[in-house]
Structure 1
Amino acid sequence: MKVWNVLGLSFLLSALSDRIVSRSENILIPHDVHPGYSIKKYSFNGQAFSILDTNAPENFVVLNNGILMLTSDVSHRVGHPILLVVKEEYHNVTIKNDLVIHVKHRNNILKFDKDLYSGSIFENLPCGATVHGMENIIASGGVNSHVTYSILSGNYNNSFRITPSSLNRTTAVAVVTNHPLDREQLASYELVLRVVDEFEVDSAETVLHVDVLDVNDNAPILEKDFYDFQIPMKTEPFSLIGNVSAIDKDGDHPVYHFCNRHSKFVIVPKSGQIFLTGILEPETYQLCIRIHDNRSPRLYSRDFPLYVTAFSSEQISEKEPLFDVIEYNTKSLVRPKRSVRPTKSYEYKENDGSIIGQTMFQLEKRDPQEIFQVESSNQWVQVDRLGVIRVKEPWNYEQLGKEKTIDFWVFVSRPGVPGPEDCQKL
């Protein structure tokens, strides 16, 4: 590989030796620079440099190290570009550099008033909304020439564009949106704004910091699709029987309520704790929970089901003990006894799970009163009390890991049983 590179370079130099290579460049210098000011440095050392006869060769010199230097005052050349040709010689190759040197009064050189502009805009505003604080940005110095503004970097998803200011300033611009913004997706932007003159010689840059302000556009939702509590029928009134929890993508604090008042249960609005207030009967109570945020106006969630099953000791079969008793340091520890049903496996294509809420399959019941509950929250599927498996979020093949499977446990229990009786892996 190294030999090939040497041969390739040798061939290139041989081919260039039969002609002169030309390059052109525009350079801007302030009017008040002093002799000895370094204009630019050519990259290769050891070359032979010279300035060809142009309209102002006496004002410049090229040193042996490749530095192009100013030798005299050029303030009188403001507005009159200087044409300069610098010749480089390397072996048998001649490179001709055509330079156009623009002398500009220092006060007329493009610059922004600030290195950083800060602005803000509310999320969800329509396309064309102006960023507050960025309605009238102007680069001083270029008032007598045509300038062009552009966003160099930071414009994620092409969210912003530059448009002429509405304040009758022909050289001023405003920053507007290309589409509605979503604060939950990106809360702030760092844009680099560039301005350049008509000759593409004079330019300046500044940073635009845009904060996306929050709008209450997300209602709180419970962390589970439903809650199911089993409690002894002898539970005393005012006992804590469980807790529900909600999340709000806007960061608001959720407030919990029952959809309708209940004579035996209350829910604490701030915490989601559920307390018993009456005497239980041996049945399954069906309640409904609704959550809203603490903004004005409020956003309400959909209704979430809550089941509370009260059981008595007589409902527990003596033939199939539901508890194992373990002796440990003279104390009795009681844990539910579970059995594991056979693992079930289903095969689907990615497109099969593209519709939210679509039913994929239903678990079989061994007892008509059995109810089902997923062990822990799953991103892709949800399980209702009847054992129906539905799509929770459209399946994404690339996010499923190398196994490309969705694995989860489902607990199976019967009303009157204090906790999951069987579990089944899917």
Structure 2
Amino acid sequence: MMRLWNVIGLLFFLSSLSIIRVLRSENLVIPHDAHPGHTVKKYSFNGQTFHIVGKQFSENFAILSNGILMLTSDISHRIGQPIALVVKEQYHNVTLNGVLVVHVKHKNHMLKFGKNLYSGSVFENFPCGTIVQGLEDIVVSGVANNHVTYSIVSGNDDNSFSVTPSSPNRTTAVAVVTNHPLDREQLASYKLVLRVVDELGVDNDETVLHIDVLDVNDNPPISERDFYDFQVPLKTEPFSVIGNVTATDMDGDHPVYHFCNHHSKFSIIPKTGQVFLTGILEPETYQLRIRIHDNRSPRLYSHVIPLSITAVSPDSFTIEETLFDFMEDDMKYLSRSKRSVRPTKSYEYKENDGSIIGQTMFQLEKTNPQEIFQIESPNQWVQVDRLGVVRVKEPWNYEQLGKEKTIDFWVYASQPGVPGTFC
């Protein structure tokens, strides 16, 4: 029985223990004309209780149950006389004592940036030390002497910017300069927070710097393939689209497509890269060359892209698509089986054109009234019924369509007693 009571007594003793931790002091500044009710500080609140220790300044400050320390009386007479408050924060058996030193300054003598937000810009690829336009002369008021320190405290990715005096004799005004050439394609804008602190580390102010990186035309269009190889039926009708060339531009420019030399049987649409037939095909292979440029001035050009177009008879016409999957140094080949196909059809739409589920987009053409259609494999964005009506399956999302921004699918066309074809 004695042992049991000893254990209970020990547990009671442990439960009555409290842990007291003393925090280091914190400084902040308030204006001399702050009115009663002014929020001095907002402590992080997670259910704990707060108390001001001592009664010396209880008539000047109060701390609410939610952690807000507020002013309760006029403190203009305290200019130049720091007020040290001890704030006790208690949560269960843990007590934190923090010292808060409140400095009262005349409002005209407090550090203050001229704006809450400054905007500037700088061209990409410009050399280190380039001054950001619009941020050449950032001024702070309330400086009693020249001993203030400026620093960028957040948003300075890759240490891209620094601050420097705007002139040798003006340390109260600064300019923002680049630390290295910037790349707009990597990051198009920055949101920095600039802080100024006095020599005692007491008075400070912050402002936001928004910097846009301006584009320089430094990227030519890049073709999706190093070469193109199209096979088309010999009897393809003129003005049919027989294939598509695609390219991307890292500067966001729209690629413009053209043949290096005029061809009597083929043309390419400059805006879309669609290649279409303009004459009557012969049973041969045509060799063409394509160049792609951007729509800037001066223009940047891609390398020459070879295009091979083979015209074959309908009975022997096949397409063998090879998908290349580059994984490190290995190349894996995945091939479709050969199939008889019809000329490729291409349509252009805007994203909001495909926003309604079930909406009809176009009708596949029949070569026979009895012909029926079936999509080769399920497609996220479109569905095809037996009559060849292509409808929206799911609202189209431009960001999810990949680099090509296309919806590609095969449709199997068949009729009773006749082998099917792909279209």
Residue 100 of structure 1, CA deviation: 4.4
Higher mean alpha-carbon deviation, 138-147 vs 236-245, is at: 236-245
CA deviation after TM superposition for structure 1 residue 10, in Å:
5.5
- CA offsets, 1:268-296, max 9 Å, x none? 33332334445543322221111111111
For 2:138 and 2:281, locate their aligned partners in 1 and report how far apart those are by CA, in whole Å. Answer: 70
Counterpart code for 2:82: I
- Deviations for 1:375-416, whole angstroms, at most 9, x for unmatched residues? 4xx5x53xxxxxxxxx7xx58xxxxxxxxx9866235889x9
Question: Given the alignment of the two structures, is residue 205 of structure 1 paired with residue 130 of structure 2, yes or no?
Answer: no
Change beyond 3 A, Cα 1:49–1:247: closer
| 8 Å Cα contact 2:52-2:85 kept in structure 1 | no
Q: What residue number does 1:255 align with? A: 256
Q: What is the SS of the residue equivalent to 1:209?
A: strand
Q: What residue number does 1:328 align with?
A: none
Aligned residue among 366, 370, 374 for 2:322:
374
Tell me the amino acid that sits aligned with residue 259 of structure 1.
C
| CA apart distance, 1:73 | 5.1
Question: How far is the alpha carbon of 1:217 from its aligned partner?
Answer: 1.4
1:410 corresponding residue in structure 2: 335
Contact preservation (8 Å) 2:33, 2:74: no
Residue identity in the other structure for 1:106: K
Q: CA RMSD in A?
A: 4.4
* Partner residue, 2:404: none
**C-alpha displacement at 1:169, in angstroms?**
2.4
Is contact 2:60–2:74 with CA below 8 Å preserved after alignment? no
* Equivalent-residue separation in structure 1 for 2:312 and 2:99 (angstroms): 94
Counterpart in 2 of 1:369?
none
Q: Deviations over 1:185-238 (max 9, x none)?
A: 222222222222122221212211111111111111222332212223344555
Structure 2 vs 1, CA of residues 65 and 374 (structure 1 numbering), >3 Å: closer, same or farther?
closer
Are the equivalent residues in 1 in contact too, given 2:228–2:307 (CA < 8 A)? yes
CA contact 2:49–2:89 (8 Å) conserved in 1: no
Letter in 1 for 2:269: V
Give me the identity figure in percent. Answer: 57
Query: Unaligned stretches of 5+ in structure 2?
Result: 1-10, 344-423
The CA distance in 2 between the partners of 1:270 and 1:30, in whole Å, is: 62
1:13-412 alignment, distance < 5 Å = 13=19, 23-33=24-34, 45=49, 49-50=53-54, 74-75=76-77, 77-78=78-79, 80-82=80-82, 84=84, 86=86, 100-166=101-167, 168-235=169-236, 239-312=240-313, 316=316, 373-375=321-323, 381=326, 409-410=334-335
Deviations 1:104-144 (A, max 9, x none): 11111112222211111111222222211111112221253
Contact 1:128 1:178 in 2 (8 A): yes
Rounded Cα–Cα distance in structure 2 between residues aligned with 1:131 and 1:180: 12
Normalized against structure 2, the TM-score is what?
Answer: 0.62
Say which SS state the counterpart of residue 165 (structure 1) adopts. strand
Any gaps of 5 or more consecutive residues in structure 1? 317-321, 323-335, 339-371, 382-390, 396-404, 420-426
* TM-score, normalised relative to structure 1: 0.62
Q: What is the identity, as a one-letter code, of the residue corresponding to 2:29?
A: L
2:193–2:207 Cα contact (<8 Å) kept? yes
Question: What is the one-letter code of the residue matched to 1:410?
Answer: S
Partner Cα distance (2:178, 2:14) in 1: 50
Using the alignment, how far apart are the partners of 1:289 and 1:188 within structure 2? Answer: 35
Q: How many residues align?
A: 325
- Residues in 2 aligned to 1:231 and 1:38: alpha-carbon distance in whole angstroms: 77
Whether the aligned pair in 1 keeps the contact of 2:155 and 2:192 (CA below 8 Å) is yes
Give the direction of change, closer, same or farther, for the CA distance of 1:309–1:85 in structure 2 (3 Å limit). Answer: closer
CA distance in 2, matches of 1:89, 1:299: 65
Offset at 1:164? 2.0
Q: Is the 8 A contact 1:25 1:98 kept in 2?
A: yes
